[in-house]
Amino acid sequence: MRKTLLLAAVFVLMVSLPAFVSAVSDDEAKALFEAKCNLCHSATNATDMRETPDGWRAIVLRMKNDNGCDLSDAQVETITNYLSRHYGR
């Protein structure tokens, strides 16, 4: 029982930590999102959607891994967090 509780606590921390660690302001995150994502399509492609944080992460990673968007891991997290906060379900 204790082991399960500990594992659950670690999981919750791992999932929520990037949002707390991010020192990027909303304005900086929006600018990054617009600079990277507007290279291939308009921002409304994303802002017309509503996704969960996992859904946004999958989309941003698809843009990085399959479509060749030049994003660092930190930028993926910044954009994912921004989209989740402003265009989440």
Q: Which domains does the chain have, with CATH numbers?
A: 2-87 (1.10.760)
Tell me the whole-structure pTM to 2 decimals.
0.72
Q: What is the pLDDT of residue 72?
A: 96
CB of 69 within 8 A of CB of 40?
Answer: yes
In b/e form, how buried is each residue of 30-55, taking b as 16+ CB within 10 angstroms?
Answer: bebbeebbeeeeeeeebeeeebebeb
* Averaged pLDDT, 38-64: 92
* Averaged pLDDT, 41-65: 92
* Averaged pLDDT, 40-65: 92
* Averaged pLDDT, 10-29: 67
- pLDDT above 90 (res 84): yes
